[in-house]
Amino acid sequence: MEPTPSLRRFFLDDPEVDEPNLRPEEQRHAAGVLRVREGDRILGLDGRGGVHPLMVRRVTRGKLELARDGEVLREPEPGTPGAPLPRIEVAAPLPKGSRAEEMLDCLTQLGIAAFRPLSCARNQGFARESAENRAENLLRACREACKQSRRSWLPKIHPTARPAELRSLLSQARSVLLDPGAPQTLLQWGAERADTTIVVIAGPEGGFDEQELRSLDFAAPVALGPHVLRIETAVEAAVATLAQRLYDPGWRWATEAQDPRPRSDTKADPPTTM
């Protein structure tokens, strides 16, 4: 069983309450733009793999009163048994302007589990364009991409890190460093379906400096092709390549009753933080 594809999807404010509510901006969009009406069926997303069937009981002054309309369906978490994809993460500087939101949108559609912004010596842009200052815009892009792509897991956005910190942060992962001059391609690197997180590391458009490159010697250099790519082009192409190679088309939805996790796990802090 899987969620009805034709039903509109909205993010929930608190998925654990008996009478769930949509996030405030989702309320406004559903009632004021999409003209959701009493009796309509919709799907609520909790960002942690859960899809909640809901019925609109009443619409008053732009606010939806909702009732549960079936059991919660769960998409297995990336990297866990039965999931469609392994856990794929990206560590890269944010490009300037709206390109950052567009990049997070595409990476969310492709299935990343997390994104880690990098602060590099040759970063472009201004301090006001840091991930922390753009947090809400980045999260909004991820939420919209989840709804559009019918994805149920909201990617986590890690705090900004420097390249020198990645060795310890990624000690349990398999990491690749995107480099057009690398002696092997990403496909030749030999990605395989495993429990280990795969991390794609990309540098700023001016490249990592020598000190940063030395700190990243733990990551396998891989090429995507002969040309130097923009940040967003490079990481999107890399994640698309990994997703195509490692996607399990036999994955299946689980019901709430089949979810093996303790109930307390579903009440943990949201997976997206800054």
pTM of the model: 0.89
CA 213 to each of CA 92, 220, 261: distance values in angstroms, whole numbers, following the listed order? 13, 12, 40
Quote the percentage of the chain above a pLDDT of 90: 75
Q: What band does 128 get if pLDDT is binned at 50, 70 and 90? A: low
pLDDT, position 192? 80
Q: Is the pLDDT of residue 260 over 60?
A: no
Phi first, then psi: give them for residue 174, nearest 5 degrees: -100, 120
CA 163 to each of CA 6, 25, 78, 262, 265: distance values in angstroms, whole numbers, following the listed order? 43, 36, 25, 36, 32
The identity of residue 190, as a single letter, is G
Q: Which of 173, 171, 228 minimizes the C-alpha distance to 202?
A: 228
Tokens standing for 259? Answer: 């979810």
Q: Is the pLDDT of residue 18 over 90?
A: no
Quote the percentage of the chain above a pLDDT of 70: 91
pLDDT, position 132? 87
- Which residues does 260 contact at the CB level (< 8 Å), separation at least 6? none
CA triplet 60, 66, 69: central angle to 5 degrees? 150
What is the mean pLDDT of the segment spanning 19-40?
Answer: 91
- Which residues does 265 contact at the CB level (< 8 Å), separation at least 6? none
End-to-end CA distance of the chain: 35
Tokens standing for 162? Answer: 């420097």
* pLDDT tens, residue by residue, 52-109: 999 999 998 778 999 999 999 999 999 999 999 999 999 999 998 899 999 999 999 9
CA atoms of 93 and 202, how far apart (whole Å): 8
* pLDDT tens, residue by residue, 137-183: 999 999 999 999 999 999 999 999 999 999 999 999 999 999 999 99
Phi first, then psi: give them for residue 54, nearest 5 degrees: -135, 155
CA atoms of 240 and 138, how far apart (whole Å): 20
